Amino acid sequence: MSETYDYVVVGLGGLGSATAYHLARRGFSVLGLERFELGHHRGASHDTSRILRHSYHTPEYVRLTQEAYVDWAMLSAQAGRELVTVVGGLDLFPADPAIPMADYTDSLALAGVPYELLGVDEIGARWPQFALPEGTVGLYQGRGAIVPAGAATQVMQELAVRYGATLRDRSPVTGLTDTSVTVEDGTTYACRGIVVCADAWTNDLLRHLDLEIPLTVTLEQATYFELDRPEDFAPERMPLWIWMDEPSFYGFPCYGEPTIKAAQDCGGPSVDPDDRTGETDPDQLALLTEHVNRMLPGSGRPVRSLRCQYTLTPDRDFVMDRVPGHESVVVGLGAAHGFKFAPTFGRLLAGLACGDRHTVSPTFSLRRPALTEPDYAPHWLV
């Protein structure tokens, strides 16, 4: 059997769903394929919350966040409900941090984004929930916000369908050429272009084009903490936060329930995405709990944890590019910090697939040294 579409999007997490939506909105016939059920918990687009922020380590990323805020606003308008909850964002740099604060302040300044630098006493005066070690400096950015991960992904899928896209779950791809995709039941879909947003399964698809990029998949863990006084951690009274050191942690105020969520960044083991556990890791839990209870004395006890995957490029930069020698195939990878840019990713990947006259940033190219030099040393702390 065979069917024909203008574009096929493979992978319907946040980035793929956004791409299907943007392509369908342009008036193209679009097929979206997902190997699992829609909204599954095996990848990186589930659960309640993700951070949206301007603070980043390079001007290029800061400028991309400026686009992301605009694209989230447009998505909210299309959805008919606000998807962005502004709470303010606090990047916490201890004395002699592993992550240089100047990378952030310089990048924000170059992009024209305002920020404040706050000492321990100033932070305590504004947000007495924090108990921070002396020498800590907080970089505060007032537009720090929360976006809903699973719910926003569903919104983008619903909008894609509203604009005419066909979305098919439980359809693992078994074959891929420049202009066709074959799924497990033997159906082949002919098309003018393909967008691969398969995250941890990206190389399973690119191998059909004799390409493999160096990716590391880690199994991370987020935990929710019960609060004695949830009103003290309400979104209007507490910002989201990131501990900018090694190990690095991040967390949220209350968001839809009387708990706070926190996690370690890049703290989990490397895994095979097809053979991984969903069980709580007690060592990861103990490390996170110790940090959160020390920094936020009112945070209480952990009540539940969940697992999610990071799919990391060696330099932790995104991929947004056409496959060399196969220009009708586009690849999008968020490198475990892409969800905040999901609607922007979708717009840019749709443009690449359609041949828009914008160039790929060398930072996000498949030809960059981190993806082509075998001895490139991975570094993920940003």
Does the global pTM surpass 0.95? yes
Closest CA to 58 of 265, 315, 312: 315
Q: Which class for 2: exposed (0-12), middle (13-18), buried (19 or more C-beta within 10 A)? A: exposed
pLDDT at 217: 98
Strand partners, 93: 137
State the number of CA atoms in the 13 A half-sphere of 335 facing the CB: 20
Q: What is the pLDDT of residues 32-75, one digit of tens each?
A: 999 999 999 999 999 999 999 999 999 999 999 999 999 999 99
Q: CA-CA distance, 373 to 55, in Å (whole number)? A: 29
Domain boundaries, the chain: 2-45+150-215+315-372, 88-144+218-310
Q: How many CA atoms lie within 13 A of 364 on its CB side?
A: 22
The two structure tokens encoding residue 289:
């709990």
Q: What is the pLDDT along the chain (382 residues), one digit of tens a residue?
A: 679 999 999 999 999 999 999 999 999 999 999 999 999 999 999 999 999 999 999 999 999 999 999 999 999 999 999 999 999 999 999 999 999 999 999 999 999 999 999 999 999 999 999 999 999 999 999 999 999 999 999 999 999 999 999 999 999 999 999 999 999 999 999 999 999 999 999 999 999 999 999 999 999 999 999 999 999 999 999 999 999 999 999 999 999 999 999 999 999 999 999 999 999 999 999 999 999 999 999 999 999 999 999 999 999 999 999 999 999 999 999 999 999 999 999 999 999 999 987 778 999 999 999 999 999 999 998 8
| Domain 2-45+150-215+315-372: CATH architecture, name and number where available | 3-Layer(bba) Sandwich (3.50)
Q: Is 379 exposed, middle or buried (0-12, 13-18, 19+ CB in 10 A)?
A: exposed
The pLDDT value given to residue 1 = 63
Alpha helices in the chain (DSSP H): 14-25, 59-79, 101-110, 120-126, 149-162, 202-206, 282-295, 342-354, 369-372
Q: Crossing angle for the helix pair 149-162 and 342-354, nearest 10 degrees? A: 40
CB atoms within 10 A of CB 209: 18
Residues 6+ apart with CB under 8 A from 361: 60, 320
What fold does the segment set 88-144+218-310 form as a domain?
Answer: D-Amino Acid Oxidase; Chain A, domain 2 (3.30.9)
Q: What is the pLDDT of residues 312-358, one digit of tens each?
A: 999 999 999 999 999 999 999 999 999 999 999 999 999 999 998 77
